[in-house]
Amino acid sequence: MTGRLTVIGLGPGHAAQITPEASAALADAELLLGYAPYLARVPERPGQRREPTDNREEIARASAALMAAAAGDRVAMVSGGDPGVFAMAAAVCEAIEHGPPQWRAIDVVILPGITAMLAVAARVGAPLGADFCAISLSDNLKPWDLVRQRLAAVAQAGFVIALYNPISRARPWQLGEAFALLADLLPPETPVIFGRAAGRPDERIAIVPLCEADAAMADMATCVIIGSAHTRIIARPDGPALVYSPRSVRPSA
């Protein structure tokens, strides 16, 4: 008797940014698992069980979900943003690969969501309008030297850079070091966007030049977008500036 595990992206947090297929899957589940603040966004329904977890131990959480699905439950694993971007979908796949063979028979469905960089970008213009990359700044799962190498490679190659997991109590210095590294490779006026809780009532968005970017402007719920040398700022008289990365690059660039 094998059930189903649906891994669901809630988007950045605003209910109007949850896709209808995600809402339907949330309503259909018998058991909901996920990091407590994400789970708290999902309306309670009679007959549904829920098991909030902390934000560590992703493999343990994935394994618990797979075990319940293998026993026949319709299980929903709730994720912020998009589950495939530095979130639970990869942890579920990893647990399946290293778990008991019967987990490979579970019907796994992954429902995409609006990931943070898209929500933040939309609030300021189109900073991701040219080639871009997404990097998790956490060195819990990869060596810091590799993060540094990747930052240098993409900055030199002209990519816009979206940083996920930029800072936390346990990782207080990495974002500052990233800004310092990038300041050696990019013009001082390169726009940096700090986007927190995009689209939610407690939204906080700041745009500063790279030479003034300060790690203290971010917390663990912030997505930081660093422009390329081509990223532009358009001042506007009646509202916030627009930031965008032009689609075209001239041969001289």
Question: Residues 190 to 209: which contact a second copy by CB under 8 A?
Answer: none
31-70: which residues touch a second copy (CB under 8 A)? 58
Nearer to a second copy, 112 or 210 (CB): 112
Q: Which two tokens stand for residue 183?
A: 């300041």
Nearer to a second copy, 216 or 235 (CB): 235
3-22: which residues touch a second copy (CB under 8 A)? 11, 14-21
For 16, list phi and psi in degrees, rounded to 5. Answer: -70, -5
| One residue of 154, 167, 175, 215 binding a second copy per CB under 8 A | 154
User: How far is residue 226 from each of residues 40, 201, 202, measured CA to CA in Å?
Assistant: 31, 24, 22
**Distance between CA atoms of 233 and 209, rounded to whole angstroms?**
10
> Smallest distance from the beta carbon of 151 to a second copy, in angstroms?
9
> Smallest distance from the beta carbon of 109 to a second copy, in angstroms?
9
**Distance between CA atoms of 155 and 204, rounded to whole angstroms?**
26
| One residue of 67, 122, 185, 206 binding a second copy per CB under 8 A | 122
Long-range contacts formed by 231-237: CB under 8 A, 24+ apart: 231/127, 231/160, 231/190, 231/191, 233/191, 233/207, 234/125
User: Coil, strand, or helix at residue 160?
Assistant: strand
> Smallest distance from the beta carbon of 155 to a second copy, in angstroms?
10
**101 CB burial (10 A radius; 0-12, 13-18, 19+):** exposed
| Interaction of residue 1 with a second copy, rule CB under 8 A | no
| Interaction of residue 157 with a second copy, rule CB under 8 A | yes
Helix-helix angle 88-98:58-70, to 10 degrees: 70
| Interaction of residue 27 with a second copy, rule CB under 8 A | no
| One residue of 29, 118, 182, 221 binding a second copy per CB under 8 A | 118
Q: What is the CA radius of gyration of the chain?
A: 20
Q: Which two tokens stand for residue 18?
A: 């949850």
| Interaction of residue 227 with a second copy, rule CB under 8 A | no
Q: Are 85 and 10 in contact (CB under 8 A)?
A: no
| One residue of 63, 174, 190, 245 binding a second copy per CB under 8 A | 245
> Smallest distance from the beta carbon of 89 to a second copy, in angstroms?
4
Nearer to a second copy, 49 or 247 (CB): 247
| Interaction of residue 123 with a second copy, rule CB under 8 A | yes
76-115: which residues touch a second copy (CB under 8 A)? 82-86, 89-94, 96-97, 104-105, 107-108, 110-115
Amino acid at 150: R
| One residue of 141, 170, 184, 188 binding a second copy per CB under 8 A | 141
159-178: which residues touch a second copy (CB under 8 A)? 159
